[in-house]
Amino acid sequence: MKTPALFYASVLFLFAGNAIAAPTVQDFQSSQQTDYVLTKHGGGPAAVLENGDMKLLYTTGQLNSLGFDRTAEGMYGKITAQWDFSILAGADGFGFILLNTADYGTSGACPAVAGEEPTLAGSFAVGFDVYCKDYSGNLGEHEVSLHWDGMERANRFSEFDFRGGQMRRAVLEVDYVVGGAEITLSLDGNYVYDHFFMEEMTPYESRVAVIGRTGGVSTVLYLDNLNVTFEEPCQAAEVPTEVTVFDAEQMWPGQGWAYRTVALPDDGTIYERVIMEVSLNQPPEGWDPWDRIMAIYATDDNGTRFEVARYITPYSKEWTWWMDVTDFQSILKGSRPFSLWLQHWAWNTGGFLVTANTTTLQKLKRFRRPVDNSF
């Protein structure tokens, strides 16, 4: 496991003004709109224009993408994307991506990636999956996932079935706040994500891309009326303060507790957000074969122990959690005893390596998660 850590910082970003940059606009009919590169990845047929819409998918074995030119130079605190789409039941789906220009340039093709699971290092994306549920946990049929910096960070079944022959209106808002970004996504006014907090997602210069994929089963995907606005120019802030609480602490069912005393910032600053990151890695002896409940506690100056984080381990795989522990900042300062607890029912040879870090940040724009310390 990766060690739990806490993160502390003064300012995530500074607004440089209220200007709105040139939007990314494309209706696939009008002139003087944003240029794009249409790419056929692999052996399937290319996308085609049909009756003023972009027909990105229509048969099996396709991987087609649209890579738009950058229209907004620099970083922005708020990005709003709207587009119309129609997708039939089948397989596999498509993704909307804000490509990081530092990695993928200011123009050119979108990189080849699974359309319904558009995971790219350094970039944010939304995946729309219309395939059936499978053994790997893919919810499918009408699933919407959020991806950031090479990881799927959220995955939800959309109560609103966005499949079918009619055009749907997607509205995506990315609002950068201290400690990450708030993601809001609605489909025909039905919210799939509403101010979902994406920890550690920081502003970056971006351009738009859309990619779709079919396999042995096909679907039909139309796109139209893309409009992406970039507001509130901003600049990256100083690197936050990160404190390691547990560093690759080896836990196994025969050892229920680990203890550390850690020096946390104690200069009187009131932080707007404190994030705890907890990661699991495989120890030399291998994984514990079972899922386990783990928790991290901090003890205050009166000797009272508070649970600040709780999680359930996945089966034999690495994982990382980000938890907002801001409401505990009154005790997350100075010389602080921490304890790490592992539920165990039987002895096994395997276990977990646990790493935890804390990060603190100031000037929270909005969002504070409620804390439930009852267990």
What is the percentage of the chain residues whose pLDDT exceeds 70? 86
For 29-167, strand residue ranges (E) read 36-40, 48-50, 53-57, 63-68, 75-87, 93-100, 124-129, 143-148, 151-157
Residue closest to 205 by CA, chosen among 112, 118, 104, 114: 104
- The reply to whether 73 and 205 lie within a common domain is yes
Tens digit of each residue's pLDDT (9 = 90 or more) over 38-61: 999 988 999 999 999 999 999 999
Average pLDDT for the chain: 88
Instruction: List the structure tokens of 136.
Output: 């790997």
Q: Is residue 16 part of a domain?
A: no
Q: Is residue 371 part of a domain?
A: no
pLDDT of the residue at 351 = 86
Please say which residue of 234, 262, 277 terminates a domain.
Answer: 234
Please say which residue of 180, 209, 234 terminates a domain.
Answer: 234
- Residue 365 vs residue 83, higher pLDDT: 83
- Cβ contact 92:80 at 8 Å: no
- Cβ contact 128:87 at 8 Å: yes
Instruction: List the structure tokens of 12.
Output: 């995530």
pLDDT reading at 125 higher than 70 = yes
Residue closest to 81 by CA, chosen among 199, 203, 187, 165: 187
**Dihedral sign from CA coordinates of 170, 173, 174, 178:** negative
Q: For the chain, give the number of residues.
A: 375
pLDDT reading at 346 higher than 80 = no
**Most confident residue range from 106-120, 232-246, 323-337:** 106-120
- Cβ contact 95:118 at 8 Å: yes
The CATH number linked to 347 is: 2.60.120.230
User: Of 130-134, 182-186, 241-245, which range is least confident?
Assistant: 130-134
Indicate the number of domains in the chain.
2
With cut-offs at 50, 70 and 90, classify the pLDDT of residue 14: very low
pLDDT reading at 115 higher than 80 = yes
- The reply to whether 221 and 271 lie within a common domain is no
The CATH number linked to 120 is: 2.60.120.200
Tens digit of each residue's pLDDT (9 = 90 or more) over 135-166: 555 556 899 999 999 999 999 999 999 999 89
Please say which residue of 234, 250, 274 terminates a domain.
Answer: 234
- The reply to whether 91 and 188 lie within a common domain is yes
Beta bridge partners of 342: 294
**Most confident residue range from 173-182, 207-216, 288-297, 361-370:** 207-216
pLDDT of the residue at 289 = 84
With cut-offs at 50, 70 and 90, classify the pLDDT of residue 111: very high
- The reply to whether 191 and 290 lie within a common domain is no
Q: Name the one residue in this structure whose structure tokens are 């729309």.
A: 128
pLDDT reading at 362 higher than 80 = no
pLDDT of the residue at 344 = 72
Task: Print the domain residue range for 346.
Answer: 241-361
pLDDT of the residue at 375 = 38
Neighbours of 311 (CB within 10 A): 16
Q: Name the one residue in this structure whose structure tokens are 């910032």.
A: 265
